[in-house]
Amino acid sequence: MPDPFAGLFDLAVETYNKLTEQVETESPPEDAFACKAGCEHCCYQQPISVTPIEVFHIANHVRKTFSDAEFNALMTRFDRPIPSIEFGGLTACPFLVDHNCSIHADRPFACRSANSYNAEECRQAARNGFKGKTISTYQGHYTATQYVLDALYKAIRDSKLENGIFNFRSAVAIALKDEAAEEKWRQGQEIFGDDCLAGHR
């Protein structure tokens, strides 16, 4: 029997890229994006939301590509996050290593849509814990992400498996700590639970 989820994450990435290209053509950004490698401000934002498809893709990617030392260091960052004085007491994403995303090509769609025209606005907002500070962004990327997340959610909904929009940090930690998590999920077990739930669609 064909795997209904095989290649779904990659297809979602391809769709997202096409959508962002289309929306930028139809409604061009007002300015050049300030985002670049080493710019880590958005990696200290409040919790982001993900679908199970993203969670298991990331967990599988980590198991295939991280060394034992890298994996152990990652789990330490999950289990014992350290609040940042520089970034308003927020904690960094566990995948932030040496100011860069260690899963950049496989990052969640919420991260893909993050953008800014002004790096200084991001820096000031991060220093304030992202409270009451405005960041100039291009909304087209967020629209593309919403479309893709809706599609992933609906793909799982039709399968009758545990579904929802989950807290990234909590859900990925579960998938990494239990190598059988995805198999259990595919068998119809509830893996994430209400504690991880960030919202419904």
Among 166, 160, 162, which Cα is nearest to 182's?
A: 162
49 beta partners: 167
The helix (run of H) or strand (run of E) holding residue 50 is strand 49-50
User: In which residue are the tokens 């909904």 written?
Assistant: 157
The helix (run of H) or strand (run of E) holding residue 49 is strand 49-50
State whether residue 198 is helix, strand or coil: strand
**Domain coordinates in residue numbering, the chain:** 8-199
Residue 95 and residue 106: Cα distance in Å, rounded?
11
Q: What is the DSSP string of 99-126?
A: TEETTGGG--HHHHH---S-HHHHHHHH
- CB neighbours (10 Å) of residue 84? 15
Q: What is the pLDDT of residue 111?
A: 94
Helix orientation angle between 52-65 and 68-79, rounded to the nearest 10 degrees: 140
Among 173, 132, 151, 138, which Cα is nearest to 34's?
A: 138
What is the residue-level pLDDT of the chain in tens, covering all 201 positions?
A: 678 888 999 999 999 999 999 999 999 999 999 999 889 988 986 788 999 999 999 999 999 999 999 999 999 999 998 888 888 788 999 999 999 999 999 999 999 999 999 999 998 888 887 887 789 999 999 999 999 999 999 999 888 899 999 999 999 999 999 999 999 999 999 999 887 887 554
Entry pTM: 0.91
Task: Confirm if 156 and 53 have CB atoms less than 8 A apart.
Answer: yes
Q: What is the pLDDT of residue 3?
A: 84
Q: What is the pLDDT of residue 201?
A: 41
